Amino acid sequence: MIIFLTGMMGSGKTAVGQALAEKLGYIFIDLDRYLENWAGKTIPEIFRDEGEAAFRKMEHKIRHDPIMNNKELVVATGGGFPLDSENRMWMKSLGVVIWLQAKPETILKRLENTSDRPLLPQPVNLSHIEELIEKRAFVYKMANYYIKTDDRPVDVIVREIMKRINHA
């Protein structure tokens, strides 16, 4: 089974995904890092040089990558990956989708010292995070499970995910 972690940037997808994959003996893929390696550029460089539409096309292509033939994966998607309806259908057809939820204030705190998020203005501000969450929540709600990550250690979140997928 492939486990897809969705949610806003700063919701914990990478940290939780790495720990979950290790616990399950699965391969972990951070989709943003994977695409950076594939493109030979950072995401901010892709956005700057080619635009968001080109980046979304790259995300779309991951579905055809041979790595996705492995059924023992934990994939941390980019925050916007599930916005594409074909991506959503693809994820649902291959495994389970988990929305890692975090309050805007938590996300702001986690992203305060970052400058590599092309969809966030600098300095990072709460209103922009709230706006992105509002625009994306309808898509994130299509996940199989919702898990809150605010003020919770990674190992507790991993245990909750394992409990839910074992009951599925």
The lowest-confidence range among 37-41, 79-83, 111-115, 131-135 is 111-115
Residue 9 lies in a domain: yes
Question: What average pLDDT does this structure show over 110-116?
Answer: 70
Instruction: Supply the range of the domain harboring residue 112.
Output: 2-161
Residue 168 lies in a domain: no
Residue 101 lies in a domain: yes
Ramachandran region, residue 25 (left: φ > 0; alpha: ψ -120 to 50; beta: rest): left
Please provide residue 100's backbone torsions phi and psi, each rounded to the nearest 5 degrees. -85, 115
Residue 166 lies in a domain: no
pTM reported for the whole predicted model? 0.90
Residue 128 lies in a domain: yes
Whether pLDDT at 60 is above 90: no
**Which domain CATH number covers 140?**
3.40.50.300
Number of domains within the chain: 1
Question: What average pLDDT does this structure show over 10-20?
Answer: 96
